[in-house]
Each structure stands twice: as structure tokens, then as C-alpha cells.
Amino acid sequence: MALDSGIDDGEQWRAIGKTLPAADWQQELPSVSYKALLLPFLDYPLAADLVKGSLHGPVARRVHDALLSGLPVLALRYHCDPASELNQLRGAQPDSAYAGHMQATLARLAECGIALCTMNELLEKLASGRGATAPSASGPRRYLTVTDVVNNPALACAPEAQLTDAAIDFLKNRKKEPYLK
């Protein structure tokens, strides 16, 4: 297990098993063979950075290295998914326009090869040996237009939603101008 040096509860994690000091993993992936890279606390800022290709932090760089080397990357979705029970307890509204934007980012993250899953799904994948798999191109991508969003606003919140620029602008303006709601 690799721990960042800034983790407050690092001592508690050490009780679980062997840990690698930050100096051993922050410069490159360890040479030891692993089944998968696990991100138990993937938050939305890190998810957005990975989608943008922004590799400023050591965790983002190691995820990038793992994806390039074909190592499965598994992440728990609880911290980054606005629809998770954890985030709803924190006050997140999963049907808001911004939550739809977050879901679209998470869908793009999955397209990059990071499997977002629950704890049970993660344990099943690790036990079965099937890690994250590359997404299959299943048909053409459909973009949602302003008309689609006006007729059914919930479509914009779907994980697979791809919005046109006009639809994105409409959703932004809808928050500012109440008569568009």
C-alpha cells in the first residue's frame, strides 16, 4: 500500500499491512508486480485533473503511469460521485446541473480506463482477477441538444450524456434566469 506523506491517519492505514513510504512511489511506479492500482479516496478534483491530463501531483502521475502500462485502475466512487450516499449526506443534489457536469466528467474518466465501483464491486473484481477493462466503442456517440435538455432535463445528468455547446450554455443560463426553469 502506498501512502501519501500528507495523510493525517497514515498510522491507522499501516495497521492494515505493509506500506510504501512516499519517496518509494512518488517518482515512479514500484517495480513489483501488482494486480491493480486502487484509489480508495478518488475525489472530484483529482478525477477532473486526470480527465484534463493535468499531472501536477504524484498520485495523478502514478495513475497516468498505471494506465499507460495497462495496469487496471480501480477507484471507489463514493467521494467523487454526487449521487453517492456519502455526498448526498454532505448536501449534494444529484439532479443539479453541476452534478450532471460531474457525472459527465466521471463518464470520461471511465472511458480513460478507470473503473469506478462500489466496495463490493471492487472486492469482486480483485477476487476474480478481472480488473478495469477498456471501454468498448458500442455505437455512435449521441450529443444532447438544447431541445433535448428542455424536454427532459434529467438527460443532462446521465453519466453518458454528451452536451452540445449550446446545451451547456442553456444549462448555465437556466441557473441565472429563473424564467428558463
- Let me know if 171 is exposed, middle or buried by CB neighbors in 10 A (0-12, 13-18, 19+): buried
Rounded Cα distance between 14 and 160, Å, is 38
DSSP string, 40-65: TT--HHHHHHHHHT---SHHHHHHHH
pTM, to two decimals: 0.58
User: 136 falls in which pLDDT band (50, 70, 90)?
Assistant: very low
Sequence-ordered list of residues with C-beta below 8 angstroms from that of 83, at least 6 positions apart, any chain? 92, 94, 99, 103
CB 100 within 8 A of CB 157: yes
Given phi > 0 = left and psi -120 to 50 = alpha, else beta, which region is 53?
A: left
**What's the pLDDT tens digit per position in 47-97?**
889 888 888 888 888 888 888 888 888 888 888 888 788 878 888 788 888
pLDDT at 9 over 80: no
- 21: closest CA among 7, 3, 41, 38? 3
